[in-house]
Structure 1
Amino acid sequence: MAGGHEKRQRKVLSDEELGRILSLMKGADSVELKATVPAVDQRSAVDALGLDAIEAQIRQVFFFDTPDLALDAAGLVVRARRVQGGSGDSVVKLRPVEPTELPKRIRQSDAFTVEVDAMPGGFVCSGSMKGAVDAADVRDAVRGGRPVRKLFSKQQRAFYDEYAPDVLGLDDLTILGPIFVLKLKSTPKGFGRKLTAEMWLFPDNSRILELSTKCPPSEAFEVAAETRAFLGAKGIDLDAEQQTKTRTALELFAAAP
């Protein structure tokens, strides 16, 4: 195993969980297979995959919630990003969702996608209303120069209003961030698929390295097997304890003064 760890027991989904993920994938637009690499193994994983940090895209991520994470408790994630080069994006995400129970007007929106995120031993289905925004506008909003709600489209605001606690408007939320992220897409030799590596650099000097690849729901199990075999051959431990970027970020900033 990478980093000299003792061999861990592989986390295996139960028959009930397999049935559940199959049901969710029938109503999803895509599946994203994710795995995080333990901190002690991140350098060796980067070397094994031939990743060059100098080629990575720099991003700055901001979350919006209350200090006690009321949106998170309601299943909502509100986020905006600045991307190197001047572009950016925003999203209002609801999770978990049942695809068949979403209102038709939401499900048919071109800005809305349903995705199943699968990690070793777990999965979640989310619905995301996405939008484009200039990096400069995000900067202005987090500095108080424009209302936060202006970072989100009319569709995003309507989606937020439908699922957020009644007393919380977008302009009432606290800015949680920033977090700097290095994102690199590549096609490693011997894999034949796009692999995305994201290094999240948190203010407390901790970091998360996440590896991911996307595929249509119909190919999910085949791609999952190929990805596990490829990463395992590179010495990357997929049975290590997994972390989630959003959860780590929200808990870190919620705990800060």
Structure 2
Amino acid sequence: MLPSECSQPQLPRVAVGGSVAEMSFQTLAPKAVDQVEVKVFFDPSQFPLLAKRFQLHERPNLERASCFFDTEALQLFKAGVILRIRLHRDAKDSLTLKLRDFDSNLIRPELLSQSRFRLKINRTGAHQTQIAKVETRTSNGRLKQVVQGKKKIQEALNPVQKQLFRQYMGSVEILDQLKLFTMVEARIWKWYEKTFPYRLTLEQWFLPSQKPLLELSIKVTPAQAEIAQKQLHKWLERQGIVYDLSKSSKTAICLTTQNQTISK
């Protein structure tokens, strides 16, 4: 188990139930959850086996770099905030502001109605993480300039992202302290199997100075989530594929592992 899995920071949480696993989807009212992403992880050494079993093409469907911005002390991450730019090889670049396990009382109702505002659940085993996010996409090269340090990230945030950041963090002053904290190269395959009802996504993340992360996921509606998760587990087990439910977040592993490397 990676260090990040046993030393997660305490993030603001909605006071319902008593644990993340007990959290009800009704917690997120008045806006309904848009999507649930059900995940499992694999040991990175299993990649050749999985590639052969699923007949994956050598070239993935997507190749991208995920660039995370934070302070050296991970002040955003510790507050449950993720600020990420994705640079794609064959698609538009994107800038995403995410809140993880957020306190919904800190978000004004009018933001929930914004068309770019999305609510989702990440689910790995019994662990659930609620996510609020606002994403923008662009092909004008501005986000590449932010990653290169030629522009500040606050110049790339759209009005809804700035408003959400200000409401949740109290101000936008900390944006001046942000830097490119780490960059992760990723390869992504997407495909359908005749014996499984949902589209599968396999992500291979290459962490600096660490073993890669290997994650398989499906995206379903909240009503489908529990049954779909059981279907995924049983489908993998029938094929003798060993999966790991001890991890829950690629981003958390990436940021905390990088932080420990910097601190040494």
TM-score of Structure 1 vs Structure 2, range by shorter chain: 0.7 to 0.9
Query: 1:46 is matched by which residue type in structure 2?
Result: A
Task: For residue 191 of structure 1, give the secondary structure of its aligned residue in structure 2.
Answer: coil
Query: Which of 17, 20, 23 is the aligned partner of 1:20?
Result: 23
One-letter amino acid of the counterpart of residue 20, structure 1: M
Could you tell me how far apart the structure 1 residues matched to 2:22 and 2:261 are? 40
Alpha-carbon displacement from aligned partner over 1:185-233 (angstroms, at most 9, x marks no partner) = 1112311311111110112141011111111111112211221121222
CA offset at residue 106 of structure 1? 1.2
Partners of 1:251 and 1:17 in 2: CA distance: 20
Contact 2:64 2:185 in 1 (8 A): yes
In structure 1, stretches of 5+ residues that fail to align are: 1-13
Between the aligned partners of 2:18 and 2:179, the Cα distance in structure 1 is 41
Give the letter for the 1:147 counterpart: K
**Partner Cα distance (1:62, 1:17) in 2:** 27
1:224 alignment counterpart: 229
Deviation of 1:23 after TM superposition, in Å, equals 4.0
State the Cα distance separating 1:17 from its structure 2 match: 6.3
Question: 2:106·2:168 contact (CA, 8 Å) conserved in 1?
Answer: no
Q: CA deviation at 1:138?
A: 2.0
Q: How far apart, CA to CA, are the structure 1 residues paired with 2:132 and 2:49?
A: 34
Q: Which amino acid aligns with 1:97?
A: F
Question: Offset of 1:247 from its aligned partner?
Answer: 0.9
Aligned partner letter, 1:208: L
Residues 75 and 61 from structure 1, CA distance in 2 versus in 1: closer, same or farther, beyond 3 angstroms? same
Partner SS, residue 54 of structure 1: coil
8 Å contact 1:28–1:99 — kept in the other structure?
A: no
SS at match of 2:246: coil
Alpha-carbon spacing, 1:196–1:241, altered in 2? closer, same or farther (3 Å): same
- Please report the RMSD computed on the Cα atoms of aligned residues, expressed in angstroms: 2.5
Q: What secondary structure sits across from 1:169 in the alignment?
A: helix
| SS state at 2:141 partner | helix
**For 1:1-257, what aligned pairs fall within 5 Å after superposition?**
19-24=22-27, 27-85=32-90, 87-97=92-102, 102-134=107-139, 136-164=141-169, 166=171, 168-257=173-262
Which one is further off, 172-181 or 18-27? 18-27
3-state SS of 2:49 partner? helix
- Preserved CA contact (<8 Å) 1:25 1:116: no
C-alpha contact 1:120 1:238 (8 A) present in aligned 2: no
- TM-score w.r.t. length of structure 2: 0.83
Preserved contact between residue 33 and residue 121 of structure 2 (Cα < 8 Å): yes
- The alpha carbon displacement at 1:56 in A equals 2.8
Q: What is the CA–CA distance in structure 2 between the aligned matches of 1:22 and 1:141, rounded to whole Å?
A: 36
Q: 1:236 to 1:72 in 2, by over 3 A?
A: same
Unaligned runs of 5+ residues in structure 2 are 1-16
Conserved 8 A contact 1:116-1:124: yes
Paired letter, 1:177: T
Identity %: 20
Hey, what does 2:5 align to over in structure 1? none
- Letter of the aligned partner of 2:112 in structure 1? R
TM-score of the superposition, structure 1-length normalised?
A: 0.85
The 3-state SS of whatever aligns with 1:41 is helix
- The amino acid that maps onto 2:93 is G
Classify 1:133/1:237 alpha carbon distance in 2 versus 1 (closer, same or farther; 3 Å). Answer: same
